[in-house]
Amino acid sequence: MNYLDSHTSVLEWSSEELIIPYRSPIDGKVHRYFPDFQVKKKGNDSTIETVVVEIKPAKETTPPATQNKPTKRYLREVYTWGINSAKWKAAESFCKDRKWKFLIMTEKELGIKF
């Protein structure tokens, strides 16, 4: 957040204020997704662009490997992947309709090492 406050190209930003509806693959109902950040910034050519950003651990950005014997951990990972995938698909469509960008960032893009 310090980065967003201090970066000269960032005009404004908000955290978890944007609401994107998505349909859950688990219960089939419409839920509300609150992406981590919405950033309005000045582009290289002085155009103004809006970027919606989700921050997730890298391990949650790919589907879990199939297992022969489903453990509780595996089922939790499948559940998480299903929900996240539905949210991200809805966010991509939402942003595309508005000519915004949608980014998923992990510790790799943020330069965080564990």
Q: Which two tokens stand for residue 112?
A: 């965080």
Q: Residue 38: which pLDDT band, with cuts at 50, 70 and 90? A: very high
- Cα separation, 73 vs 60, in Å, equals 13
Global pTM reads 0.88
Considering only CA atoms, which of 6, 5, 22, 2 is closest in space to residue 95? 22
Report residue 114's pLDDT band, with 50, 70 and 90 as the boundaries: low
Task: Specify the pLDDT at position 43.
Answer: 84
